[in-house]
Structure 1
């Protein structure tokens, strides 16, 4: 099969592969494993049971479960997988423990969403990777529900935690804390925090911080600060990183924006 693309993203390990089929010997993992099949008819062996996972299937494996199978070598196969330790998955979802009860569900839309988020998490752009971690944390909640996990009720957290996080992020845009630190700061699970923030603000924390960065960049550029200085002050990796997001927000590069103001 094609070589796996593999990377760590926060508490998650991500993998993606596309190419000719492959069969895996029977094995197990210490982590929870979640796979989304985009193409191919995978034959799965799991703790003495066999089933088929076609395109659009999501398969979930508990730590220690013996699994095996794959796709015949003359057939194309495309899948993505997530690996996360039991304690980190439970903590992310606000649970003490959990176990997947249903190993297979046919959920094409969720499979595509997982695949898109995994691909974003495999990119080199740090903001895209951070955004992918947020998306995957929310999607893990959907996967867990589909696999028979009962999540704790996420009652309305109120405006307080979201406002505290906004104030914290705005205080130092050069250094955005990781998702674990955000959740700890407001006393919520990562899943609950992201869902509450999205519901109240319409953006994820990373998206909100980035739009604030670009807004402040516009003010500094308007005041005549060089783009290189603006990028550094606001925590962009470099000037090109600033340009990419400034153009996406305002339809114009920082340089052209300043030239237009000088008129």
Structure 2
């Protein structure tokens, strides 16, 4: 296989993986998967064989495969091909979206805006920075709902969560900012699917839970720096991976490094 293929697992348990591929003139033999496969084509004219029929999926197209479907295909010899794919276990995808079970009604559709958004989220999820990877995971969870709607999967009516429940989660996150629970843990804490957790939190707060926790961490970092605590200790106290991780997020929020901020206020 010429080109590159990057793969990463998301979430606490196996069953949710993302991949980004840049290949040249490649074809996959006919095969099947135990999980859902959702691919977004970014470059190249893919010819797809699916359960005995053939269709084309060019740039901007999604192709969705239900578990067990026989699939194959690729692009012509010498043609560049770039795509991103999501591999999601059937029980995980149903749980993420708050459904008992589901399957895709349509195999392909051209959705260029959704394709670009998915590619961006996958790129984040494949990155080196933990916070950026988490933001990619959050974005993909929301995008999965959009993909499901676009490809013919019925979602339940969104439940509007009371302000009290979201406030409870904020209190839980704020009580130990170094803990940084996963998206699955936060969803379990509220008894919601990952999708409904993110939609409810963002509707009420305007940020995702992780974004909200990060802005609170940087805000608390200000107070600790004002009190004279060294930046290395501040990073450890608030659960940043290291001082450079604190520096990056602090500068993004306040426009100065922690060291410059501390010198200015003391």
Q: TM-score range by the shorter chain?
A: over 0.9
Deviations 1:184-217 (A, max 9, x none): 1111111011011111111111100000000000
Tell me the C-alpha RMSD between the 2 structures: 0.9
User: Alignment partner for residue 43 of structure 2, among 39, 47, 62?
Assistant: 39
Deviations 1:142-201 (A, max 9, x none): 111111110011021121221111111101000111111101111111101101111111
Residue 196 of structure 2 corresponds to residue 195 of structure 1: no
Q: Which residue of 2 aligns with 1:70?
A: 74
CA distance in 2, matches of 1:117, 1:240: 23
Q: Which residue of 2 aligns with 1:181?
A: 185
**Mapping of 1:50-89 within 5 angstroms?**
50-89=54-93
**Mapping of 1:86-235 within 5 angstroms?**
86-235=90-239
TM-score by length of 1: 0.98
- The unaligned stretches of length 5 or more in structure 2 are none
Q: Which residue of 1 aligns with 2:7?
A: 6
Residue 240 of structure 2 corresponds to residue 239 of structure 1: no
Structure 1's consecutive aligned runs of 4 or more residues displaced over 2 angstroms after TM superposition are: none
CA distance in 2, matches of 1:75, 1:170: 51
CA distance in 2, matches of 1:212, 1:254: 15
CA distance in 2, matches of 1:7, 1:196: 27
- The Cα shift of 1:101 comes to 0.5
- The Cα shift of 1:39 comes to 0.7
Paired positions, count: 262
- The unaligned stretches of length 5 or more in structure 1 are none
CA distance in 2, matches of 1:202, 1:51: 41
CA distance in 2, matches of 1:4, 1:168: 38
